């Protein structure tokens, strides 16, 4: 192994701050733009500023989002933040709230998100290095129901009962005492009038309470049906034709409740040039993996040919899509893939639905889903004084997990997951863009409850960012969707054209529509991803890069524990 090539010297200040910079994420099992963690991490260069941004949206809307900005490079005097909703745009957005400086080059603040749906957080930076603006896509949806603490409930009930008694007493007293004239004796009917008044008051209060309870139940039902996020259901299936297995993913609209807000399926937009990124992972063990890009058959149906070497079994399905509004979500399902015998000639002749499809069959994790503190990393080397892991790739090269701080990682702590590729002689190799980026990664917890599709810029969709940036530039107060059929057909034509372009031209077009990324390497053999594991458990990481026109996938396992207090 060429130590001169693989070693990258002393850690930079940027890496040190990354490891010491903690983000706390609230875990949600609901499926949003990913599964199992609700925060957004953005690593971006804008002007002279290198920024690391975390936005943790509330799990109840209206609610406050936690915004944290770390200025890795650049001189900043102040940072303002404001929410901008896709529907109302820039004209309907509030003014900026100033973030508070916490420590060196770190800014924090709470930002109210008052409406559900696709939104963004716009950051306005000002300082000696100039004024800049950054847009962070945020999916603001309610994912939780809040229960009132028992003590608070009993206390409010006691106060309410006291208030009711006082109201009834006051009504009875006013009905009786008002007939007593000054200096005159009280009439004999005074007591009866007081009781009648109290009875009438009791009836009135009861009617008010019944009406209030009906309103409360109706409001709670609307919250559950309209505001509480429910992932779009899909039905996935496998059909066999001409010794070829084909995956079909169909949006299931039959289960929508009458008041449920429906998705605008005609307005799905491409992300990295693909309308859908579907990941199939065999369970248990996670030993087989496929990253597919299904074709759209019609508004509700997508299909993709399965790799002929993909073994049969039960698979977890995660399919990422982005809507025109910038709303991104992950569709989840399980699918049984049938075993099929196919000759070597037929397997070699089989063509994928998309030339960018990739897959890998490897060893399972080797641990049970509930195993604790069982080492299962390939700890066969030390990189720059830190534990590392390496795997052989299909072309004979080696992928290394660089700068791994320890064998066991901590939940809720931000890491830069850095991976390098070297050839058989240990020399750095040149990586090519894969779908317009330096690389992609997918992370899955052993039980499937945490999933994320990672990019070097962070945990969000670049297509969502583009939609929201364009919406902010639009001066209209309300957004009007174009004709659904025309829009869908134009998107299908664009995606079809991308498939015909040479690789270099396609990547140039894709990269032109993406934000700048702040991780240019001295040697083009590395790719890195910012990520914070949301909770403890065993995780498998698939890292995908491209070399010599071939997609290569490296797989790594790691254990994550809760942080020590």
For the CA atoms of 286, 292, 294, 300, the dihedral, rounded to the nearest 10 degrees, stands at 30
pLDDT at 499: 87
pLDDT at position 229 is: 76
Residue with tokens 């909770």: 535
Q: Return the structure tokens found at 150.
A: 């028992």
Homologous superfamily (CATH) of 39-140 is Immunoglobulins (2.60.40.10)
pLDDT at residue 189 in the model: 66
Distance of alpha carbon 169 from alpha carbon 187, whole angstroms: 19
Tokens of 293: 């890009």
- The phi and psi torsions of 388 (rounded to 5 degrees) equal -135, 170
- pTM for the complete prediction? 0.78
The pLDDT, as a whole number, for residue 164 is 83
Instruction: Please name which of 260, 275, 189 lies closest in space to residue 226, comparing C-alpha atoms.
Output: 260
Q: Digits of tens for pLDDT over the chain (565 positions)?
A: 444 333 333 333 333 333 333 322 323 333 445 676 667 888 888 888 888 888 888 878 888 889 999 888 889 999 999 988 888 888 888 888 899 998 888 899 998 888 777 888 889 999 998 899 888 888 877 777 777 777 887 888 888 888 888 888 887 777 666 555 566 666 666 677 778 778 888 888 888 888 888 888 887 777 777 777 777 888 999 998 877 889 999 998 876 554 445 568 888 989 888 999 999 999 888 889 999 999 999 989 999 999 888 898 999 999 999 988 888 888 999 999 998 887 777 777 777 888 888 999 888 886 444 443 333 444 443 343 344 577 888 888 888 888 777 778 888 888 888 898 988 887 888 888 888 888 899 999 988 888 988 888 878 888 888 888 888 888 777 888 888 899 999 989 988 888 888 888 888 877 776 655 544 545 578 888 888 888 888 899 999 998 888 899 988 888 888 887 6
- Please state, in angstroms and rounded to a whole number, the distance separating the CA atoms of residues 318 and 290: 11
User: Tokens for 69?
Assistant: 């900005």
How far is the C-alpha of 459 from the C-alpha of 7, rounded, in Å?
Answer: 27
Four-point Cα dihedral 299, 38, 516, 434, nearest 10: -60
The answer to whether 23 and 412 are in contact (CB under 8 A) is: yes
Q: What is the pLDDT of residue 516?
A: 53
3-state SS string for 165-179: HHHHHHHHHHHHHCC
133 closest CA partner among 125, 142, 145: 125
Q: How far apart are CA 498 and CA 515, in angstroms?
A: 19
What stretch of H or E contains 203? helix 190-222
């Amino acid at each position: 192994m060429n130590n001169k090539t693989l070693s990258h010297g002393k850690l930079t200040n940027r890496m040190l701050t990354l490891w010491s910079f903690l983000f706390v994420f609230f875990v949600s099992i609901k499926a949003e733009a990913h599964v199992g963690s609700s925060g957004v991490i953005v690593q971006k260069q804008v002007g002279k500023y290198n920024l690391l941004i975390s936005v943790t949206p509330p799990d109840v809307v209206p609610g406050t989002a936690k915004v944290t900005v770390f200025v890795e490079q650049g001189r900043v005097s102040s940072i303002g933040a404001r929410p901008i909703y896709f529907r109302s745009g820039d004209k309907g957005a509030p003014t900026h709230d100033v973030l508070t400086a916490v420590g060196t080059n770190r800014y924090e603040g709470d930002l109210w998100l008052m409406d559900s749906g696709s939104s963004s957080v716009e950051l306005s930076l000002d300082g000696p290095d100039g004024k800049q603006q950054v847009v962070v896509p945020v999916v603001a949806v309610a994912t939780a129901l809040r229960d009132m603490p028992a003590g608070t409930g009993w206390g409010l009930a006691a106060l309410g009962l006291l208030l009711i008694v006082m109201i009834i007493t006051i009504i009875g007293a006013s009905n009786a005492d008002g007939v007593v004239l000054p200096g005159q004796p009280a009439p004999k009917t005074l007591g009866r009038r007081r009781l009648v008044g109290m009875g009438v008051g009791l009836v009135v209060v009861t009617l008010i309470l019944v009406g209030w309870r009906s309103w409360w139940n109706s409001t709670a039902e609307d919250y559950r049906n309209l505001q509480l996020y429910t992932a779009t259901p899909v039905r996935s299936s496998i059909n066999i034709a001409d010794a070829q297995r084909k995956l079909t993913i169909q949006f299931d609209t039959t289960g929508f409740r009458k008041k449920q807000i429906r998705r605008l399926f005609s307005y799905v937009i491409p992300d990295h040039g693909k309308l859908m990124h579907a990941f199939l992972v065999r369970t248990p063990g996670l030993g087989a993996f496929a990253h597919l890009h299904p074709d759209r058959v019609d508004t509700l149906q997508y299909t993709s040919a399965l790799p002929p070497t993909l073994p049969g079994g039960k698979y977890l399905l995660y399919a990422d899509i982005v809507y025109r509004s910038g709303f991104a979500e992950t569709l989840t399902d399980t699918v049984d893939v049938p075993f099929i015998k196919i000759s070597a000639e037929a397997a070699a002749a089989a063509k994928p639905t998309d030339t960018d499809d990739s897959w890998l069959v490897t060893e399972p994790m080797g641990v049970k889903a509930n195993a604790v503190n069982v080492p299962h990393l390939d700890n066969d080397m030390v990189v720059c004084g830190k534990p590392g892991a390496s795997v052989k790739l299909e072309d004979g090269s080696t992928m290394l997990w660089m700068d791994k701080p320890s064998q066991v990682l901590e939940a809720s702590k931000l890491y830069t997951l850095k991976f390098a590729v070297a050839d058989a002689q240990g020399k750095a190799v040149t990586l090519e863009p894969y779908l317009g980026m330096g690389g992609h990664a997918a992370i899955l917890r052993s039980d499937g409850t945490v999933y994320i599709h990672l990019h070097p810029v962070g945990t969000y969709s670049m297509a969502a960012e583009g939609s929201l940036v364009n919406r902010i530039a639009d001066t209209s107060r309300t957004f009007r969707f174009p004709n659904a059929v025309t829009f869908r057909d134009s998107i299908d034509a664009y995606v079809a054209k991308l498939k015909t372009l040479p690789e270099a031209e396609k990547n140039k077009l894709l990269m032109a529509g993406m934000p700048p990324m702040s991780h240019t390497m001295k040697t083009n053999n590395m790719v890195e991803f910012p990520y914070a594991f949301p909770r403890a458990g065993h995780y498998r990481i698939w890292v995908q890069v491209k070399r010599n026109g071939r997609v290569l996938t490296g797989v790594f396992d790691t254990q994550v524990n809760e942080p020590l207090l």
